[in-house]
Amino acid sequence: MQLTSSRPVHVPGPEDVVVPGQEDVPVLERELRSFFRRLRQWQRGADRVGLELDEHTFGVLSTVHDRGPSRLQDLAADLGLDASTVSRHVTALERCGLLTRVPDPDDRRARRVILTADGSAAWSRDREARRELVRRALSRWPADDRRRLTSLLTQLNAELATLLTEPEKEPA
């Protein structure tokens, strides 16, 4: 814990809690944070990597596509955001002509958010561009490693989703 240390990679010291069989956990914790920081960094400059839609726009459009005509609160729940926040996003995207709000036949308080033709086309283009970025990023990887990462990440997301609905909570 000394201040003058200059080790760039973590080396277990006497102060570390060592759990037998879980020696990789300290590395995993570090790599998870590193990964998150990197994703956030790149997300900020989405246009600089050839994407036409920023992260929030793509997220909203994807959710509407997956859900079909959607109520605001359902979108908010799927996105993990407050309804007021999503309302702002939707308003902005409606001004851009990417989606529109139609009356909800079942509830006159609500409206249903749907994609416009432009929104659907832009989403489709961007989705393919994002997949191509992933392909290029991992172009030097063995296909098996990439598939294993896909599988583990899918399981991890499922695990985290489960934890959210349980008495326990999660990492950052």
Q: Which of 85, 88, 107, 163 binds its own copies (CB under 8 A)?
A: 163
- Say if residues 99 and 61 touch (Cβ distance below 8 Å): yes
Q: Which of 64, 89, 93, 122 binds DNA (CB under 7 A)?
A: 89
How far apart (Å, rounded) are the C-alpha atoms in residues 159 and 39? Answer: 21
Q: Which residue has the tokens 């393919």?
A: 128
Q: Which of 75, 79, 104, 106 binds its own copies (CB under 8 A)?
A: 79
Does residue 109 belong to the site contacting DNA (CB under 7 A)?
yes
Q: For residue 58, list its beta bridge partners.
A: none
How far apart (Å, rounded) are the C-alpha atoms in residues 31 and 53? Answer: 27
Does residue 90 belong to the site contacting DNA (CB under 7 A)?
yes
Which range binds its own copies by CB under 8 A, 83-91, 103-111, 146-154?
146-154
Does residue 22 belong to the site contacting its own copies (CB under 8 A)?
yes
In one-letter notation, the amino acid at residue 41 is: Q
Partner whose binding site includes residue 134, from its own copies, DNA, none (CB under 5 to 8 Å by kind): its own copies
Does residue 83 belong to the site contacting DNA (CB under 7 A)?
yes
If you count them, how many residues does the chain have? 172
Report which DSSP code applies to 48: G
Q: Which is nearer to DNA, 12 or 97 (CB)?
A: 97
Cα distances from 69 to residues 12, 44, 85, 168, in angstroms, run: 52, 29, 19, 33
- Residues of this chain that bind DNA (CB under 7 A): 44, 54, 56, 71-73, 80-85, 87-91, 101, 104, 107-111
